[in-house]
Amino acid sequence: MSKLRLRALSNHISFLKFVARWEWITALKDAVEIPVIGHGDIRSPEDAAAMIAETKCDAVMISRTAASNPWIFRQIEQYTRTGRYDTPSDADRYAMIRTYFTMLHDEQVQGAAGKMKQFAAWFTHGVAHGANLRKAVYESHNEVDILAAVDRFFEALLSD
């Protein structure tokens, strides 16, 4: 074995979410000589830095946060290097969602409309009036309608 990853989730639930047990990562790191990748409750660059500082793990793995903030990897790199990081603008979010949805449509991915609806739910948290876009996306019946709803929403948002 050349490395280990520990997803340190317990049965303890706080606010209806599983809570990561970083002390398990620390114990694993103390017990083995190979690199350990910590995983669990990384929602920000500060969380990634805290996990490494607290557990002494060699790296962190990001999962659910990447769906709602695909910039997390760049932000972690910036934070590690400078102690600060950029947040995506509404134009950045529009470009990302438009690109992803267009790829799903153009590649004729089976279930593309469902994937678009799922992604819209994750990706629009924190966007001003994002609930309006989520509603429009969920009420759309196909990929073309979803793309049109995204375009209308962001064109209005960016023109303000």
Per-residue pLDDT tens digits for 114-145:
999 988 888 887 788 999 999 999 999 999 99
User: In b/e form, how buried is each residue of 91-118, taking b as 16+ CB within 10 angstroms?
Assistant: eebbeebeebbeebbeeeeeebbebbbe
Instruction: Look at strands 36-39 and 4-7 and give their pairing.
Output: parallel
- If one counts every other C-beta atom within 10 angstroms of the C-beta of residue 36, the result is 22
Model pTM score = 0.79
Number of residues that this document lists for the chain = 160
| pLDDT tens track for 57-108 | 999 999 888 888 999 999 999 999 999 999 999 999 999 999 999 999 999 9
